[in-house]
Amino acid sequence: MSEQDRPFDVRRAGVLLHVTSLPGAGDLGDEAYRFVDFLAAAGCSVWQVLPLVPTHDDDGSPYNAPSAMAGNPDLLSKDRRETADDGAVTAWCAQQSAWLEPYVEYTALRELHRTPWHTWEPALRDRDPQAVAAALSPLSERVQELKVEQWDFAQQWGRLREYAASKGVLLFGDLPIFVSLDSADVWAHRELFELDEAGRPVTVTGCPPDYFAEDGQRWNNPHYDWAAMAADGFAWWRRRIARQRELFDLVRIDHFRGFEAAWHVPVESPTARDGRWVTAPGEQVLAALVETAGPGTLVAEDLGVITPEVDALRHRFGLPGMKVLQFAFDGKRDNPYLPAHHDELSVVYTGTHDNDTTAGWWASVDERTRAQVKSHLVDPDEPMPGALVRLAMESTARLAVVPAQDLLALGSDSRMNTPGTDEGNWTWQAPVGAFDDELASRLRAVVERAGRA
């Protein structure tokens, strides 16, 4: 096996930048290839992105998607489209039919009705085959267009992945643990979710009050019916992770703790404060995921309320966890994010896509916190955000990932997402020319000094 097949056998550096945040069009065109070149020149061997799924028009969030399996057609480069070969498209569609057929049916009907599926007439809501076929009959051209879009996405992403591999760069994806109620996945597999007869959730997902939100966060996804999923050996999860491994070398499982227990919020509750923890069959699910994905390819997002049981589940399957430096300096010596508490099987970040940029964070912290941070820095006089980037790179964690905004020393107006808010998220783009040779050279010096090149 090569180092590409064993990502955590060596020290690595990476950059977090979603495809939509690439300079220019924010797609799979030339700037994506230039960014791979930048990473290689900087000594970085990992490119981490957010989910590549389609998004709903109302919020643009890749964590609230109409499909957990499809690629986002908005990421397609117009300059790199291929002429569709009917035979190739047909063969690919047949191979991907388990998720592709529900996706194209749902998408065509969703475009027709412009409302969530659980508001459709009962026959379509319940995915009656005859009703669906009759409704789609006038939409046959659109259905075929949707299939070709997904085939084209597979071609464009596949070529980019091959190019990244030729430069020694691994692609690191993100898998949200929950899926949107208004999605092809829930519409086509209602029996796998806790829904009432009309297709509405019994309880919804969220998390209790934490660093990000004093009332907790209400995400509004439906919860899984774990007993129904276990009945067929978690086949839906196996298909989902297999699909992600087609796209990525590494996959982060967002909200990993939900496999041990999930926060169930009453539908009628206005906030997530009134939720409760409900246990999940984590060991059974993870066994299926690791067996399908392959060892050494999954990462656990273990932020938030983490119990000994969650830690035990992660260690049981040898999954690296996350260490976020912005969370480290609360004055407590046992803070798990302090550099002294990092272990090799970890991924260290200055911040994530949900954090403020490091420059914005630094501007907001008090002098006491600043003093604590400086006591851990390699050079206390080094300015931010470069100082925290260096601290991340010097960590014992095998993989260090830095958001692109921190490399570019950008402030709060460039953050990707503010949890608990509905506006101004997911839109940041890097300036054209930002990832130049000078930045690559400066970053490479830090990466090499940390033994990660």
Phi/psi for 276 (5° steps) reads: -145, 155
State the alpha helices, DSSP H only, in 167-212. Answer: 184-188
Q: Are 122 and 199 in contact (CB under 8 A)?
A: no
Eight-class DSSP state of 426? S
Place of tokens 């900087």: 42
Active site residue 413: no
DSSP helix/strand/coil, 235:
helix
Among residues 182, 185, 254, 260, the one annotated as catalytic is: 254
Find, among 451, 347, 351, 334, the residue nearest to 399 by Cα: 347
Catalytic residue from among 27, 152, 260, 354: 354
79 is catalytic: no
* Residue whose tokens read 């955000």: 385
Residues 260, 301, 394, 406: which is the catalytic one? 301
Residue whose C-alpha is closest to residue 52's, from 44, 42, 43, 62: 62
351 φ/ψ sector (left φ>0, alpha ψ -120 to 50, else beta): beta
- Per the CB < 8 A criterion, the answer to whether 161 and 227 are in contact is no
Distance from the first to the final alpha carbon of the chain = 20
Distance (Å, whole) CA 67 – CA 97: 14
Q: Which amino acid is at 373?
A: V
Q: What is the DSSP letter of 83?
A: P
Per the annotation, the verdict on 354 as an active-site residue is yes
Q: Which residues contact 342 (CB under 8 A, 6 or more apart)?
A: 323, 348, 395, 396, 397
CA 121 to each of CA 67, 108, 199: distance values in angstroms, whole numbers, following the listed order: 21, 15, 12
**Nearest-angstrom CA–CA distance, 10 and 4:** 10
Residues labelled catalytic: 254, 301, 354
